Amino acid sequence: MIDQNIIDVWKARFVEIDNGKITNDRVWGEDPSNYVGIPSMNAIGKYMADGLNVRLSEKVANVLKGNKWQLYDEANDNIGEFDWVISAIPPKQAIDMIPDVVNLYSEISRYEMLACYSLMLGYEEKIDIGFDAALIKGADISWLSVNSSKYSSVNNTAFLIHSTNKWASQNIDNDRDWVKGYLCNELSNSVPIKTENANYIGLQGWRYANIKKQNNLEFFLDRDNKFGLCGDWFVQGRIEAAYLSGSHLGDHILIS
């Protein structure tokens, strides 16, 4: 994808912050490399989905097994008939969807995913805070990235802040305006960013965002019923884990 200009290496200035103080800093290099999508992160998904029949905004609510798999939407309308069903949704949601013919409840019910909030701050001007990415300790936020630093042609500033999983799990159902204010305050206490000057403040809550590192299977495959499960929750809550889980499941399906 580098040759196709779909991704590029992000040579970020990385720091570690503990209770508001920088304790470590370095520049990310190429061993290992950290990649970003060009011109945005969704370019990767669009490139990989090229030529596929991707149907958006269509929730599968029920899965039934006949001679083939029958999928139904929330209105109980038949979506289609399929040879294989592969699910990449979080375990708690997968439990509700998996038909009884695939006996997986006892196996996947033990997977406990953690929540996360993403706070987004936008500024019309370019701001340099001295680094591009930070691992944060001693606060209820855990990560800060200057998303605008990924692209040299950008003349504004975009910050992306992640809460800790523990705090988010305890506050996932709280009022969103309160959550925004709290996380902005946590950010200001850790990094010299004037959140009150932001031209845009956005918030996204993820109920199923992360999971501790697992040491079990990377996927589940029921060859007899032609049913598979994959996702980051089999390995660790990272996009790399999600990719590897799906890729390895696909490899095994192709040889079945």
Q: Rounded CA gap, 172 and 208, in Å? A: 10
Q: By three-state DSSP, how is residue 213 classified? A: coil
**How large a percentage of the chain has pLDDT more than 90?**
73
pLDDT of residue 256: 66
Would you place residue 162 in the very low, low, confident or very high pLDDT band (cuts 50, 70, 90)?
A: very high
Is-cis flag, bond preceding 32, omega within 30?
yes
CATH for 55-111+213-254 (1.10.1520.10, 3.50.50.60, 3.30.43.10, 3.40.720.10): 3.50.50.60
State the pTM of this model.
0.86
pLDDT at 143 over 90: yes
**pLDDT tens for residues 76-125?**
999 999 999 999 999 988 888 888 888 776 778 888 899 999 999 999 99
Written as one string, the DSSP assignment of 16-61 is EEETTEEEEEEE--BTTB-EEESSSTHHHHHHHTTTS----S--EE
Q: Rounded CA gap, 225 and 152, in Å? A: 49
Strand partners, 9: 35
**pLDDT tens for residues 169-221?**
999 999 999 999 999 999 999 999 999 999 999 999 999 999 888 887 899 99
Q: Which fold has domain 7-43+114-210?
A: Polyamine Oxidase; Chain A, domain 2 (3.90.660)
Strand partners, 141: 163
Structural domain boundaries in the chain: 7-43+114-210, 55-111+213-254
